[in-house]
Chains A and B, each alone.
Chain A
Amino acid sequence: MSVPELTCKELVEVVTDYLEARMPAEQRLLFEEHLAFCDWCQSYLQQMRATIHLTGTLREDDLTPEARDGLLEVFRDWRHR
């Protein structure tokens, strides 16, 4: 095709480059020009963002008290070497 553009099929391959801000400026323009009219790819991108956000909620934040106590023991042994 002689019109420079990204198709939907091409877009889904580079969506991570876009979200990681690792896309060359010219390709980013084509990417956003496509999104400007394509509701479906907007949905896909939004779903990708939601996936990343939800994956981030899986993080377990706290050590168990037993693990914490175990580490303190390690520290005290080391300190008194």
Chain B
Amino acid sequence: MTPGTLGGTFLSVSEQELLGALRRGDEQAFITLVETHGASMLGLARVYVRDRAVAEEVVQEAWLGVLRGIQRFEGRSSLRTWLLRIVANLARTRAVREARSIPFSALAGAELEGEGPSVPPERFRGPQDRWAGHWATPPEPWNRPEHELLSAETRAQIVVAIDALPERQRRVITLRDVEGCSAAEVCNVLELSETNQRVLLHRARTKVRQALDDYLTTSEHQQSP
């Protein structure tokens, strides 16, 4: 089989070299790829299948798909996007089979409509007030030292909040803010328009912020300095 030319503009020189080496069966090239992208691929798989062991199986399947497809890959998308799409397709299929998440098609549209404003309207002054639309009960500053914000307890609140999100919001915030994927990558992998992705991200972040705020501004969680 004639290898596809790796001439696409989405690949850096080092990526082209890496893929070339991989095609020749270079084990170190494979290890480098895994070390670079493996964590993100696992993170993406876990967006669909929560169980870590199942997610690792999905990732393993994905790498097999990568190796089988490596001769045909031409670099028309970035390497990372290609890897993530392979994972996403497998993870979706597996998730439906595992019946641990809602089938993707059932979510269409449901999470973009029907949600009200980000912050409850009663937090702001009403339309007859001379300061209509301004904060009535403003946010309290968190004023916590960094080590407290980074503590396991605080981060656990975030995990719980993300877990409780509607499915598509959870996927977007996990890929964007937990895994650090770009907006373009997430749109590509989750097949969302840029605007929809941003709406979902906004709603997810708003809820997570609120959860953190609830936790950090309750007096019993405040530690003495």
The short answer to whether A and B are in direct contact, CB under 8 Å, is yes
B interface SS class: helix
Interface residues in A23-81 by Cβ distance below 8 A to B read 38, 40-41, 43-44, 46-48, 50-52, 54-64, 67-68, 70-72, 74-76, 78-79
B135 interface residue per 8 A CB criterion:
yes
Taking CB atoms, residues of chain A closer than 8 Å to B194 are 22
Q: Which residues of A contact B (CB under 8 A)?
A: 1, 7-10, 12-13, 15-17, 20, 22, 38, 40-41, 43-44, 46-48, 50-52, 54-64, 67-68, 70-72, 74-76, 78-79
Question: 8 tightest CB-CB pairs across the interface, nearest first?
Answer: A7-B133, A40-B138, A16-B202, A55-B177, A9-B133, A9-B124, A51-B209, A78-B67
Could you tell me if A72 and B118 are in contact, using CB atoms closer than 8 angstroms? no
From the candidates B117, B158, B198, name the one contacting A20 in the complex (CB within 8 A).
B198
Could you tell me if B67 and A54 are in contact, using CB atoms closer than 8 angstroms? no
**Min C-beta distance of A57 to chain B, whole Å:** 6
Taking CB atoms, residues of chain B closer than 8 Å to A43 are 138-141
Could you tell me if A54 and B158 are in contact, using CB atoms closer than 8 angstroms? yes
Q: A13-B118, A44-B139, A52-B205 are in contact. Are A63 and B39 (CB under 8 A)?
A: yes
Q: A7-B133, A74-B64 are in contact. Are A59 and B158 (CB under 8 A)?
A: no
Q: Which residues of B contact A (CB under 8 A)?
A: 25, 27, 30-31, 34, 38-39, 42-43, 56, 59-60, 63-64, 67-68, 117-119, 121, 124, 132-135, 138-142, 149-150, 154-155, 158-159, 162, 173, 177-180, 183, 194, 198, 201-202, 205-206, 208-209, 212-213
Could you tell me if A47 and B124 are in contact, using CB atoms closer than 8 angstroms? no
From the candidates B117, B142, B179, B201, name the one contacting A9 in the complex (CB within 8 A).
B117
Q: A7-B124, A13-B117, A63-B38 are in contact. Are A47 and B159 (CB under 8 A)?
A: no
Taking CB atoms, residues of chain B closer than 8 Å to A16 are 198, 201-202, 205
Q: A20-B198, A54-B154, A56-B177 are in contact. Are A9 and B25 (CB under 8 A)?
A: no
Could you tell me if B56 and A67 are in contact, using CB atoms closer than 8 angstroms? yes
Q: A9-B133, A61-B39, A63-B34 are in contact. Are A74 and B63 (CB under 8 A)?
A: yes
Taking CB atoms, residues of chain B closer than 8 Å to A7 are 124, 132-134
Taking CB atoms, residues of chain A closer than 8 Å to B63 are 71, 74-75
Q: How far is the CA of A50 from the CA of B157 in the complex (A)?
A: 14
From the candidates B134, B150, B202, name the one contacting A8 in the complex (CB within 8 A).
B134
Q: What is the chain A residue whose CB lies nearest that of B199? A: A16
From the candidates B119, B149, B183, name the one contacting A12 in the complex (CB within 8 A).
B119
Q: How far is the CA of A10 from the CA of B135 in the complex (A)?
A: 11
Q: What is the chain A residue whose CB lies nearest that of B68? A: A78
Could you tell me if A63 and B198 are in contact, using CB atoms closer than 8 angstroms? no
Q: A8-B124, A55-B178, A63-B34 are in contact. Are A74 and B60 (CB under 8 A)?
A: yes
Could you tell me if A51 and B133 are in contact, using CB atoms closer than 8 angstroms? no
